[in-house]
Amino acid sequence: MALPPHLVPPKIPGMSIPDPQVPPTDEDVYLAEFTQSSMLQTIKSQGNTDPQKIAYYGQLTRYLANIQAEHALAGLVVPVPPGPAPAPAQPAGGIVALLTQIHAAVQTNSTNFENLQTTMEENFQTVQDDVKQIKRLAVIACNRSAGMDDLEIVPFHNGDMPPATLPQLTNASDISNLNTAQAAKYLRGYGVRTDRQPNELLGKKKLIAKKIGCLASVE
């Protein structure tokens, strides 16, 4: 499964990372983690006042999530199918007994192959689900470092994008303009059951803002 292209953050003085290998190596992941951690320490030491570095940190977070996902996918161990069964000894019952043994061996190998295929599909689905969740968290982290008018669309909890029938939430005003039905649908998409949603519309909007990483005030 091919992931989207790498998002290598733009170079800034004293803090840059080279393009990773394909697939990313342990060193690539370590360098991204170290760079992200260093940038966070720099932002904290400067009192969180440099918007360029804050935006760069959000891009680093997404970049790290991308190469961690590719690195994990490349390291997935695919089960090896069992080798061919040893040739049976010549049966005492003649050709009919031999054909019976061959048929049984074919059935066994067919079952083993079907089991292997099922295992591979389950492993692949697990990796797909993990990648979707990693990318969701990366988008949320990026939104937290962005301004109130520069939000990215956050996928629903199952990895699907919000449908076109709902307003796209790209800033705090979009959240504030939601009606009760739209807000309820968004919350269900982000994993909040109807019976656990706030009763008031404003409460719904504030919870949506929290779910997508919007730090600006909503009305």
**Which of 145, 171, 201 is the C-terminal boundary of a domain?**
145
Instruction: Dump strand ranges (E) for 78-144.
Output: none
pLDDT (tens digit per residue) in 113-148 = 676 666 666 666 666 666 777 778 888 888 887 766
Assign 3-state DSSP to the chain and report helix, strand, coil percentages, each to 5.
55, 0, 40
pLDDT, tens only, 35-83: 777 777 777 777 766 677 777 777 777 777 777 777 777 766 555 566 6
**Domain match, 36 and 115 both:** yes
What's the predicted TM-score (pTM) here? 0.48
Domain match, 53 and 132 both: yes
Do 54 and 6 reside in the same domain of the chain?
yes
Cα(173)–Cα(187) distance, integer angstroms: 17
In terms of domains, do 99 and 154 share one?
no
Q: Which amino acid is at 50?
A: D
Question: What's the pLDDT tens digit per position in 10-39?
Answer: 555 555 677 777 777 888 777 878 877 777
User: Are 166 and 134 contained in the same domain?
Assistant: no
Give the residue-averaged pLDDT of 86-113. 65
Same domain membership, residue 160 and residue 81: no
For residue 124, the model assigns a pLDDT of 60
Query: What residue numbers bound the domain in which 174 lies?
Result: 148-219
Domain count, the chain: 2
At residue 163, the pLDDT reads: 92
Q: Do 85 and 139 reside in the same domain of the chain?
A: yes
Domain boundary among 145, 176, 204: 145
Amino acid at 202: L
Q: Are 170 and 186 in a shared domain? A: yes
Residues 115 and 191 in one domain: no
d(CA 179, CA 191): 19
Does 97 share its domain with 177? no
Asked if 18 and 75 sit in the same domain, the reply is yes
CB atoms within 10 A of CB 65: 22
Residues whose CB falls within 8 Å of the CB of residue 80, separated by 6 or more in sequence, listed in order: none
So what's the pLDDT on residue 162?
A: 92
